[in-house]
Structure 1
């Protein structure tokens, strides 16, 4: 089968590899769609934290079942899967948090992923397609990350929610904060991304951190109270540290984005707010099911996100162009038909 390997930063290579063997406890999927995410882009440019090469990228995936040992799935069924493979035994797994398993292996990050024609995955990770298209199913995973962050924040009706970063993960976070009833504010440095927030996903308030006085704008939007929830989806150390100053008294700050450095903030300012700081890692089956439900009921239109399309054979020559902000990529989708 044809496989695309990121051999070193900035380099892809198509290779012919053997189709995976049929293993006990695993299911074989024929990959039909691959969504390109920030992790893939950062891995290609050599800026993804905690990453090794060579690596087969890809974890936003949809396909059809070729072989499975589960009797509740059928051959030929359209599926996605939860690409965070866990031990099912550690303290996190036992407490319902397999998304942060102590030995977690994320497909396309810690282990080889889905830029292949056929992929073997643990059978427990399969998710029913429930009538969704391959395009829609390939977008469930990135949207679930945003949904998980919103669930961690326990967003309430009419609560002011600031989402920092209007990339695909940030956009999904905004969608599910809106669904939870939040008054969503988007903060970014890219006017085109902020326009997308307003025009495509109905975000009422947007702020450009480069051209507008952020504190003043947030005070204006929130009637001086400031956001009671802030969710970072940038992974930028500067953005993460700065956003502490935007938080309302009694508020919560959730970090979805990841970077390597040390977070620094004023303890007195944080303490007097009795603020809550938490991380949000990956997503759970509950989040996947929440995303699928909201796709099916029309609350989320995943096709809004797809701005670029290529075939699998075109990825090597096209991929680098998606790093250029001028290309306006929100979500590139790869087809294997």
Structure 2
């Protein structure tokens, strides 16, 4: 089978590899239907991912069909794949937080992913995608990142909320914050991204970085801020926009140290919350929202590309992502 492999930074190839014919005990063979391409995949191509060894088959936003009956599944069942393979034994797992397992292995990062025809995964990492199309099912994982962040935030109806970074993860976070009843604002460097968020998803309260937004009714700051920028500078700038009694949710990950003024932090009694990956509850919440047509997946899907054509498009996509929301590879 052809496997989409980043051979080394800057080099991608469709390499022939043998398809698995048996799954380990408790695991299931699945045939991949569609693969969403995300920032992690672009970072791997660019050599910017800190937890990765090359070569690596990428792809962790997956929809698939079960190959054969067993372990509660029927052959042909359409499934969403949870790509976070947890150990089930560490303290986080025992406390019901497999998304931050201390021994986690993420498909397409720590082990080979699903940009290929067939894969073996734990049976418990599959969720029935009833009522979804294969393309919709491939978008569930990235939306679950935002849904998890919103759930972690403890957001309440009417909370004045700012999402910094209007890329795919930021948009997903904003969509689920709005579903939770929040008054959502978006902040980004790119006017094109902000215009797209308004045109496609109806977000009217958008702000370009560099323009004053603490004016008028925003003088008191935001009750909840979600950072989805991947920028230490942006995260540090966000502290001054927090209201008293607020929460700051860090969805993106940076390698740098983050600095803030402790007196201002304590004066506001701010909570800082890290949000990593997602859990089964978040995947189910996203699928329900898609089935109920509360999420416009057609607007989220920027383009589809057959696997055999992907090599000629991957570098171009990585270099021009300003208004790209989600490219999906089909098999």
TM norm structure 1: 0.95
Superposition pairs of residues 281-320 of structure 1, within 5 angstroms? 281-320=276-315
Separation (CA, whole Å) in 1 of partners of 2:71 and 2:217: 51
Q: Distance in 1 between matches of 2:95 and 2:111?
A: 24
Q: Residue in 1 aligned with 2:158?
A: 158
Q: Deviations over 1:134-171 (max 9, x none)?
A: 01000000000000000011111110110010111000
Cα displacement (A) at 1:220 = 3.0
Aligned residue-pair number: 330
2:216 to 210, 213, 220: 220
What is the TM-score when the length of structure 2 is the normalising length? Answer: 0.97
Counterpart for residue 108 of structure 2: 108
Q: Is 1:266 aligned to residue 261 of structure 2?
A: yes
Cα pair 2:163 2:225 within 8 Å, conserved: yes
Could you list the runs of 5+ residues in structure 2 that have no partner in the other structure?
A: none
Residue by residue, what CA displacement relative to the aligned partner does 1:158-200 show, whole Å, maximum 9, x if unpaired? 1011001011100000000000000000010111110121111
CA distance in 2: counterparts of 1:207 and 1:18, whole angstroms: 50
SS at match of 2:131: coil
- Counterpart of 2:30 in structure 1 is 29
Distance, in Å, in 2 between the alignment partners of 1:247 and 1:36 is: 33
CA distance in 1, matches of 2:69, 2:92: 27
Q: Secondary structure at the match of 1:328?
A: coil
Partner of 2:50: 49
Shift in Å, 1:309: 1.7
Question: Do the aligned residues in 1 keep the contact of 2:246 with 2:269 (CA within 8 Å)?
Answer: yes
Q: Could you tell me how far apart the structure 1 residues matched to 2:214 and 2:5 are?
A: 44
**How far did 1:221 drift?**
4.7
Larger mean CA deviation between 83-92 and 14-23 belongs to 14-23
The aligned residue for residue 147 of structure 1 is 147
Instruction: Give the conservation status (yes or no) of the 8 Å contact 2:190–2:322.
Output: no
Are the counterparts in 2 of residues 34 and 114 from structure 1 also a CA contact under 8 Å? yes
Q: Which contiguous aligned blocks of 4+ residues in structure 1 show a shift greater than 4 angstroms?
A: none
Q: Give the 3 Å change call, closer, same or farther, for CA 95–9 of structure 1 in structure 2.
A: same
Deviation at residue 225 of structure 1 after TM alignment: 1.6
8 Å CA contact 1:86, 1:98 repeated in 2 = yes
Q: 1:220 to 1:114 in 2, by over 3 A?
A: farther
In structure 2, the CA distance between the partners of 1:208 and 1:327, relative to structure 1 (3 Å rule), is closer
- Larger mean Cα displacement after TM superposition, 255-264 or 50-59: 50-59
Q: Is 1:334 paired with 2:321?
A: no
Distance 1:259 1:238, change over 3 A: same
Secondary structure at 1:228 match in 2:
strand
Distance in 2 (CA, whole Å) between partners of 1:263 and 1:313 is: 42
CA RMSD of aligned residues (A): 1.3
- 1:198 has 2:193 as partner: no
Q: Structure 1: give runs of 5+ residues left out of the alignment.
A: none
**Displacement of 1:83 after TM fit?**
0.6
Distance apart, 1:96 and its partner CA: 1.1
